[in-house]
Amino acid sequence: MPVRYVPPVPEALLPVPGITLGATAAHIKNWDRNDVLLVVCDPGTVAAGVFTRNRFCAAPVTVCRRHLDASGRMRALVVNAGNANAGTGERGIADAATTAAAVASMLGCAMQEVLPWSTGVIMEPLPVDRLVAALPAARAAARSDGWFDAARAIMTTDTVPKGASRRVTIDGVPVTVTGIAKGSGMIHPDMATMLAFVATDAPVERALLSSIVKEAADVSFNRATVDGDTSTNDSFVVAATGQARIAPIARTDDPRLPALSGAIEAVAVELAQAIVRDGEGATKFIAIRVEGGRSVDECRKVAFGIAHSPLVKTAFFASDPNLGRIVCAIGNAGPADLDPAGVSFWLDDVLVVDRGGRSPGYREEDGQRVMKEDEITVRVDLGRASGAGSAQATVWTCDFSHDYVSINADYRS
**Cα–Cα nearest to 204, from 72, 76, 112:** 72
Q: By the 8 A CB rule, do 184 and 157 touch?
A: yes
**One-letter amino acid for residue 98 of the chain:** T
Residue 41 burial (CB count, 10 A): 26
**Cα–Cα nearest to 322, from 368, 380, 281, 287:** 368
Catalytic, out of 157, 193, 230, 283: 193
Cα 180 to Cα 171: distance, rounded to the nearest angstrom: 26
User: Applying CB under 8 A, which of residues 323, 347, 378, 385 lies at the interface with a copy of itself?
Assistant: 323
Q: Does 365 bind a copy of itself (CB under 8 A)?
A: no
Closer of 172 and 412 to a copy of itself (Cβ): 412
Map the footprint of a copy of itself across residues 333-362, applying CB under 8 A.
334-336, 338, 340-341, 343, 353, 356-358
Looking at 79-87, 216-224, 250-258, 289-297, which segment touches a copy of itself (CB under 8 A)? 79-87
Q: Does 253 bind a copy of itself (CB under 8 A)?
A: no
Q: CA neighbours within 13 Å on the CB side: how many for 104?
A: 17
Nearest approach, Cβ of 376 to a copy of itself (angstroms)?
Answer: 16
Q: By the 8 A CB rule, do 114 and 71 touch?
A: no
Binding string to a copy of itself for residues 86 to 115, with x set by CB under 8 A, is what?
xxxxxxx-----------------------
**Cα–Cα nearest to 80, from 146, 19, 13, 150:** 150
Nearest approach, Cβ of 334 to a copy of itself (angstroms)?
Answer: 5
User: Applying CB under 8 A, which of residues 332, 361, 363, 375 lies at the interface with a copy of itself?
Assistant: 332
What single DSSP character describes residue 140?
A: H
CA dihedral 209, 214, 219, 221 (to 10 degrees): 110
Nearest approach, Cβ of 177 to a copy of itself (angstroms)?
Answer: 31
SS3 58: coil
Backbone region of residue 322 per phi and psi (left: phi > 0; alpha: psi in -120 to 50; beta: other values): beta
Active site residue 20: no
Q: Does 84 bind a copy of itself (CB under 8 A)?
A: yes
Q: Does 317 bind a copy of itself (CB under 8 A)?
A: yes
Looking at 7-15, 213-221, 224-232, 373-381, which segment touches a copy of itself (CB under 8 A)? 224-232
Q: Does 124 bind a copy of itself (CB under 8 A)?
A: yes
Cα 44 to Cα 109: distance, rounded to the nearest angstrom: 12
Q: Does 227 bind a copy of itself (CB under 8 A)?
A: yes
Closer of 204 and 371 to a copy of itself (Cβ): 371
Looking at 29-37, 100-108, 149-157, 399-407, which segment touches a copy of itself (CB under 8 A)? 399-407
**Cα–Cα nearest to 5, from 279, 394, 191, 224:** 279
Instruction: Compute how many residues bind a copy of itself; rule: CB under 8 A.
Output: 67
Q: Does 189 bind a copy of itself (CB under 8 A)?
A: no
Nearest approach, Cβ of 35 to a copy of itself (angstroms)?
Answer: 18
Q: By the 8 A CB rule, do 64 and 49 touch?
A: yes
Q: Does 49 bind a copy of itself (CB under 8 A)?
A: no
- Cβ neighbours for 219, distance < 8 A, ≥ 6 positions apart: 265, 268, 269
Q: Does 413 bind a copy of itself (CB under 8 A)?
A: yes
Closer of 2 and 92 to a copy of itself (Cβ): 92
Q: Does 6 bind a copy of itself (CB under 8 A)?
A: no
Q: Does 311 bind a copy of itself (CB under 8 A)?
A: yes
Residue 303: which H helix or E strand, with range? helix 296-308
For helices 128-141 and 89-107, angle between their N-to-C axes, nearest 10 degrees: 30
The residues annotated with a catalytic role in the active site are: 193
Binding site for a copy of itself (CB under 8 A): 54-57, 84, 86-92, 121-125, 185-186, 227-232, 308-311, 314-315, 317-318, 320, 322-325, 327-332, 334-336, 338, 340-341, 343, 353, 356-358, 400-402, 404-406, 408-413
